[in-house]
Structure 1
Amino acid sequence: MKTAAAPSLAFALLLLGTTLGLAGTDLVLPAVPDLPDVLGGSAAMAQLVLAAFVAGGCIGLILFGELGARADQRRLLVGSLIAYALVSLACALAPSLPALVGLRFLHGLSGAAAAVFAPGMIRAMFSEAGAVRALGLMGSVESLVPALAPVAGVWLLAAFGWTSSFYLIAVLSLIVAVLVRALGSSLPVPPPTRSQGSYIRLLKNPTYMRYALSQACTLGGLLIFVFGAPAMMTKALGLSLNAFILMQVTGIAFFILASNIAGRLADMFGAERMILAGSGISALGLMGLSMYGNAGGTDPLMITALFVPVNLGLGLRGPPGFFHAILASDGDDARGAALVILFILSMTATGTAIAAPLVTAGLSPLAGVAASFSCISIILLASLRPLKAR
């Protein structure tokens, strides 16, 4: 059913909800080094403030994917936002660092609903072309969060202290919850979920796995490189962090451009061609970085130029790829979206762990690990059957 009283308003609410979930890491990030001085504990325990949030988010994805297949997703979204706000408030009032770590697990868990429900609701609100465009716009905004939220976090930390980020998240989450509750008719009734659906059924569906895993491998390849790039550039190449900032800002700009034209290009050339082409372009960019590093290259401008196709390819394949994963879930939208995001987190975590000992060895090893994950995406697309043309 593709009926909604105000699709643009509904989409804005979903976008705000998913952005707040992402901000739970990036907005808090600048305060982490100072937490042991304020709450006691060690620097290692302070890092668990971030890790606990991610771990809770992974559990939340599975939980809300299951609940969303059984209950009204609009009510679940409101409840999730309220819980997210209350846990944010509790984090600000945490008496010790161990208590904050425990609360952050609940924080990540409670904030996962919007990311799970948004793709299915977007599918219900728009046509296929409109949904791809909406997912592209959502991806564009979400890509800015890791770049802009830490800057806001630094300002909040300096002006109001470490608790201010949690208070801000709490207030904004409550506002969005109230708006979703008051304007619930603007959110669509999600499409019917298969009564016999399950995560096991999705894992056994080769067509769904084709889109879900290839999406995770392409995005995971990019994130593996990004997560290791600061240490690689400063420790191995002797560059400043300005080189990393230049690379990131340029990459995000091209990702935003590509993700917002992906829907139109998919209409013109077909979604399958865009998914395959985008995956190939992204993989070629990472392989180019690896070869450049193997040749002894260290020029930050050249690294930035080679990083452009990595982002461009992801932007071209990201929106149609995610949408086709939802289509391939065969009506099991909530579980389907949850698994895609969980695969992305898992691929990124695995690749980052593999690359961790190599980041100080230079550009080539890090880019090579990232490229290997990105190339797996192409293998999956070539070996597993696509959706039938409709």
Structure 2
Amino acid sequence: MPSTPLAPAPAAPSATDLNSRHAAIALGLSLPADVVLYLLLPMYVDQFGVTLAEAGILLAANRLVRIAGYRWVARFYARNGDRPTCTIAVVAAAVCGVGYATLSGFWALLPLRLMWGLCFAALNLSTQALATADPIGAARRNGRSRAFIAMGPVLALPLGALMAHWVGPRAIFGILAVFSLLAVFAARRLPSAPHRTEKPTRRFQWPNSLDGWSFMEGLALDGLFIVGLSYLGKDLLPGGAVIVAGLLMALRYLAEIFLSPVGGQLADRFGAERLLVSLSLVTAIALVGFGLGWLWSCAALIVVLRALQLPLLSPIVARRTPGPERVQALAARSVWRDIGAGAGPLIAGLLLPVASPPWLYGIAAVLLAIMALACGRNPSPQSTPPPTQERTS
């Protein structure tokens, strides 16, 4: 009787895949305290001892500090490598969680937000640099990285909403601080070799189309949309709004777990720029509907579209700036996103109480669409491996 050939065993993950996975786990365990604060702070400003405008500043502060600090963080990261940089970051993130649980008032919370901003800069840069260290499969790897990052927030947001509804908004942050400490185990498995980078040129450079898109995505999706979801949802569903908003924000991260890998695979197949333009235009339409009052349905659509878009930017940047310049280029795009995401909560905190939501979100949608079309005008080649690959282990 002829023997049936055995199916080939699945290939073991490469060193690049494992490094990317461990960096994503470290960020995923450290991130929940920040995302839960975005949910609870606008709804419970009195219990945190701040006004709505001060809450907007606090939610923006972690991003604003990265505008000035990303350059310093990128130099520290390149010089010291992933393991020490990420270990310091996850320990500091745990300190922030304890502070959110115990401290009140604008000036007590502001230093924690600034510290978390630098922690996130380091962890985020590590996940992007390790995911794109090998140009082959970079979009796929980046999509899987986003899925691992989302696992922590998708569990923390419903738990935080339920605990806030029953026992108040502070206790959850003590629990999340413990999870941040667990991230040390993932950070210690990262490579410690430094990253070779080019010496930076001038400090200021005119923004390009990717910078403009990063800015508008940060402003519209990470700023206006998130704060608006909490603020407008509170008025539509008093009492249970925190649970509904928490579930929708958790859906945002649940979508990343399932759809970010899909977005990465689609980018490898059809081109990251083409996919970025298409998804951004549909997102702009959903933002208009969100502002017009279709709050929950358009919010669900936006979180799905955002999850598909997340893996796209890093591979585009890596193709356009291969070699040692890649780390600085990734940091620069993150700076422009943080400028937008830092401005978003400020604008929301100041304008949502007095401005018309259709105008506010409609203008943001138009600008996002314009920036997306600009990115697609000169697409980069779909396969341009750099002449020299970086050491990542």
Normalised to the residue count of structure 1, the TM-score between the two structures is 0.72
> Which residue of 1 is the match for residue 197 of structure 2?
193
Q: Aligned-pair distance for 1:274? A: 1.7
Letter of the aligned partner of 2:360 in structure 1?
Answer: L
Query: 344, 349, 371: which is aligned to 2:342?
Result: 349
Consecutive unaligned residues of structure 2, counting only runs of 5 or more, are 1-11, 385-393
User: How far apart, in 1, do the equivalents of 2:149 and 2:185 lie?
Assistant: 22
The within-5 A match list for 1:1-390 is: 6-28=15-37, 47=55, 50=59, 52-56=61-65, 58-85=67-94, 98-124=107-133, 126-129=134-137, 131-143=138-150, 148-153=155-160, 162=170, 165-166=173-174, 168-169=176-177, 171-181=178-188, 183-184=189-190, 187=191, 189=193, 192-194=196-198, 196-198=199-201, 200=203, 203-204=205-206, 209-223=208-222, 224-232=224-232, 235=235, 241=241, 256-287=257-288, 293=292, 298=293, 304=297, 306-307=298-299, 310-330=302-322, 331-354=324-347, 356-358=350-352, 363-382=357-376, 385-389=378-382, 390=384
* Secondary structure of the structure 1 residue equivalent to 2:311: helix
Whole-Å Cα distance in 2 between the matches of residues 14 and 112 of structure 1?
13
Q: Secondary structure at the match of 2:158?
A: helix
The separation in 2 between residues aligned to 1:387 and 1:219, in whole angstroms, is 23
How many residue pairs match? The answer is: 365
Q: How far apart are 1:119 and its partner, in Å?
A: 0.6
TM-score of the aligned structures, taking structure 2 as reference length: 0.72
| 2:62/2:113 contact within 8 Å kept | yes
Q: Which amino acid aligns with 1:192?
A: R
Output the CA distance in 1 between the equivalents of 2:91 and 2:251: 36
1:233–1:52 Cα change, 3 Å: closer
Q: CA deviation at 1:133?
A: 2.0
SS at match of 1:332: helix
Following TM superposition, by how much is the alpha carbon of 1:55 offset from its aligned partner in structure 2, in angstroms? 4.4
Task: Tell me the distance in 2 between the aligned counterparts of 1:14 and 1:140.
Answer: 12
Higher helix share: 1
Identity of aligned residues (%): 20
Alpha-carbon deviation of 1:113?
Answer: 1.1
Change (3 A) 1:353 1:84: closer
- The alignment's C-alpha RMSD in Å is 4.4
Structure 1: gaps of 5 or more residues: none
Per-residue deviation, residues 81-124 of structure 1 (Å, max 9, x unmatched): 34444565677676987445434433433443111221111112
Contact 1:73–1:117 (CA under 8 A) maintained in structure 2: yes
**Post-superposition shift, 1:323?**
1.9
Q: Cα distance, 1:286 vs. partner?
A: 2.9
